[in-house]
Amino acid sequence: MPSFDAGLISRIQQANDIVDVVGEHVALKRKGREMLGLCPFHDDHRPSFNVNPGKQIFKCFACGAGGNVIQFIQMRENLSFPQALQRLAERAGIKIDTRPKTQDLRPQTQDEADPNELARVNNWAAKYFMANLAHPEKGKDAREYIAKRGLTDESVKKWRIGLADGSGGDLLTSARRAKIPEKLLAAAGLVVGSGLSLNDKFVNRLMFTITDVTGRVIGFGGRTLTGESAKYINSPTTILFDKSNALFGLEHARHQIASSETAVIVEGYTDCIMAHQFGTANVVATLGTSFTAGHARILRRYAKKVVLLFDSDVAGIEAANRALGVALGSRIDIALANVPEGKDPCDFLLAQGKEAFERVIENATDVFEFKWTRLSNDLGREQTLAGKKQAIDEYLDAIATAAGAGNLSPVEKGLIINRLSRIMAIDAKDVNAELTRRMGRSKTASAYTNTAAPELGEGLSANAQREIIEVLLAEPKLFKYVKDEVTLQNFDIPVLQKIAEAVFRTIGVNPEATVQEICAAVEEPQIAGLIINLEDDGVKKGNFKQRLDDALAALKYEQQRINRPTLKPCQNPRGLGI
């Protein structure tokens, strides 16, 4: 159970409105009194994620996830209860110490590192890199490079651009002066090596600060300033940073993406920054990796359409084709755009301006048209049967993926089948059968829903225990009829006993306790989800006092029957299966 003052927990909750917090991760739209969006905890295709501003709780009606703002952060960022409290406290500017006084929390391994501690050391490093860039002598060459690229001082500050100097050990020395443990630096990916060979990870590089959607510093990207073969390097994978599940600029782009319902994806840091500098604020960048399923899942929470903006050379087109294959598996519209004249987006913006850049985006080619043109070109170019078959297989796989994900209407599918039938000289029924076969290969999974649900028990006693909890969650004032009749020992279903403990403890102190306050009395997000579901069931059933009386009677009857004299005996109860 939490070992934190209830008043402090309540203060942190009140300072973090659940709509604001969830809205940093999910695009929410009002529906009546509640807010609705795509659930971030499973592969949601139809908005099933509800946020109740009045109760300050969330619930997914598809996968069952639920809780208050603390549980949302626990699940979303994979944090423990104390870590989530600390995270929310920092977000609200509340200073707390959630650490036991006698425990040494200096991380020993990557797995043991506290995400909040890594975020703090990353934030320190960002300030260190920015100070290097601002240094009159140390940062002179880097500032000249930035000026040549056309980035303004405002952009440098907004995007927290910095400099890793060329000494190879200055960050380490500065961190030691700041009394930051070396093992924490290593866990954050800021240093490499060990012992006497410990050195800075980034040396003589222009540094781009990578944040998550909430603005927390999760990693860095460094561009060489000396012509090294590795032009860009990123932070290694840490408990905070995974480049296949992170998008540069999302912190600044998410509002415009949500309002325009379109996300534009570019390849480079400066491409993304320059787009925002010119006022096109729905642009994000991949981090030196191909567009991944993780990127698609993130963007689906905010956008209905994704425009992939890649270089027009062969490598760029192939990268775009691979990205399209990934994106087709998501329920999101995809289009492809190329910057003309062989320029990258940054240079094109500087040369042609915002309007020309946005015309490029507006004229993006639909994914299916791009794929069809590619197929036609490949069939015209290929001379061998094997080559033609490979081209057709690629196209069929793309269409099957899109159809399986719901990205293809029946009309579109029919038109494509007829087109393929003509070009392949095969009956349309056979083409449709082949597409159906390939669609069967597609499988989706949900990490959250794969977790086995706790056993709630069966029979008269289990039903009575559940009824009591449902009623008290829906109408906590009725606790006065329960407190002298039932103890925690009457709840012999383990998960129900945990919930009853939280309910009794919270309502015992505050007879008008809300469901979000009761959720704050449990550490496990899955238990909080059950509390939300039980409260919802309780409210829907209504008739609180009668149900409570029947449940208490049933519990007494069952205990009398098995000779467990905890409660006073009673006559045969009404309802509950008797």
> How many structural domains does the chain have?
5
Q: What is the pLDDT of residue 316?
A: 65
Residue 441, C-beta contacts closer than 8 angstroms, at least 6 positions apart = 400
Average pLDDT over residues 503-509: 91
Given a cut of 90, is residue 288 above it in pLDDT? no
Continuous H helices in 457-524 = 460-474, 494-509, 515-519
User: Do residue 390 and residue 494 come from a single domain?
Assistant: no
pLDDT in tens, 409-433: 777 778 778 877 777 677 888 778 8
Residue 44: closest CA among 263, 243, 317, 296: 296
Residues 66 and 153 in one domain: no
Last residue of a domain, one of 336, 363, 390: 363
Confidence of residue 371 (pLDDT cuts 50, 70, 90): confident
DSSP state of 60: E
- Give CA–CA dist 25/58, Å, rounded: 13
**Same structural domain, 249 and 235:** no
Query: What CATH number does the domain containing 223 carry?
Result: 3.90.980.10
Residue 107 binned pLDDT confidence (cut-offs 50, 70, 90):
very low
User: Taking residues 341-359, what's their average pLDDT?
Assistant: 90
pLDDT, mean of residues 22-38 = 91
Residue, of 106 and 377, whose pLDDT is higher: 377
Task: Report the C-alpha gap between 214 and 31 in whole angstroms.
Answer: 24
CATH number assigned to the domain comprising residue 338: 3.40.1360.10
Within a domain: 568: no
Structural domain of residue 488, as residue ranges? 460-561
Residue 577 belongs to a domain: no
Nearest by Cα to 442 from 480, 490, 404, 406? 404
User: CB under 8 Å to 445, separation ≥6 — which residues?
Assistant: 43
Same domain, 353 and 380: no
Contact indicator for 511, 476 with CB cutoff of 8 Å: yes
Q: Is residue 297 in a domain?
A: yes
Note the pLDDT of residue 554. 86
The answer to whether residue 201 scores a pLDDT higher than 90 is: yes
pTM of model > 0.85: no
Q: Does residue 236 share a domain with residue 124?
A: yes
Lowest mean pLDDT among 25-29, 274-278, 332-336, 469-473: 332-336
Instruction: Pick from 27-41, 104-118, 420-434, 441-455 the range whose average pLDDT is largest.
Output: 27-41
Domain boundary among 316, 335, 363: 363
> Is 80 exceeded by the pLDDT of residue 403?
no
- Same domain, residue pair 142 and 225: yes
In the prediction, which pLDDT does 473 show? 93
Instruction: Examine the pLDDT at 461 and tell me if it is beyond 90.
Output: no
Render 413-455 in DSSP notation, one character per residue.
HHHHHHHHHHHHT--HHHHHHHHHHHHTT-----TTTTSPPPP
Residue 102 lies inside a defined structural domain of this protein: no
Average pLDDT, the chain: 84
Q: Is the pLDDT of residue 571 over 60?
A: no
Asked if 263 and 351 sit in the same domain, the reply is yes
Residue 151 resides in a domain = yes
Rounded to 10°, the helix 69-77/6-14 angle is: 80
Q: Which residue has the higher pLDDT, 393 or 146?
A: 146
The residues, ordered by sequence, that sit 6+ positions from 485 with a Cβ below 8 Å of its Cβ are 552, 567
Residue 54 and residue 33 in contact, taking contact as beta carbons nearer than 8 Å = yes
Same domain flag for 556 and 478: yes
Please give the full DSSP string across 337-355, using - where no structure is assigned. Answer: EE-GGG--HHHHHHHH-HH
Percent of the chain with pLDDT over 90: 46
pLDDT beyond 60 at 570: no
Helix/strand/coil percentages in the chain, nearest 5: 50, 10, 40
22: domain CATH number? 3.90.580.10
- The predicted structure's pLDDT at residue 111: 52
**Terminus-to-terminus CA distance in the chain, angstroms?**
36
pLDDT at 490: 86
Instruction: Give the model's confidence band at 447: pLDDT under 50 very low, under 70 low, under 90 confident, else very high.
Output: very low
Inter-CA distances, 482 with 106, 476, 504, 509, Å: 46, 10, 9, 14
Two structure tokens written together for 411? 């009309």
Q: In this predicted model, which residue has the larger pLDDT, 560 or 176?
A: 176
| Residue 120 sits in the same domain as residue 206 | yes
Which pLDDT tens digit goes with each residue over 233-242?
A: 999 999 899 9
What is the pLDDT at residue 406? 66
Per the CB < 8 A criterion, the answer to whether 301 and 37 are in contact is yes
In this prediction, residue 62 has a pLDDT band, given cuts at 50, 70 and 90, of confident
Is residue 108's pLDDT more than 50?
no
Q: Average of pLDDT values for 52-59?
A: 94
Asked whether the beta carbons of 126 and 209 are under 8 A apart, the reply is yes
Q: Is 258 contained in some domain? A: yes
Query: Are both 200 and 256 inside the same structural domain?
Result: no
Q: Which of 363, 378, 406 is the last residue of a domain?
A: 363
Tell me what pLDDT residue 433 has. 81
- Residue 555 sits in a domain whose CATH number is 1.10.860
Rounded mean pLDDT, 373-384: 72
Distance CA 23, CA 110 (A): 30
Count Cβ atoms below 10 Å from residue 416 Cβ, excluding itself: 22
Do 413 and 466 lie in one domain? The reply is no
Mean pLDDT along residues 170-184: 95
Six-digit token pair at 495? 């998960």
In a domain, 108, yes or no: no
Tell me: do 207 and 127 sit in the same domain.
yes
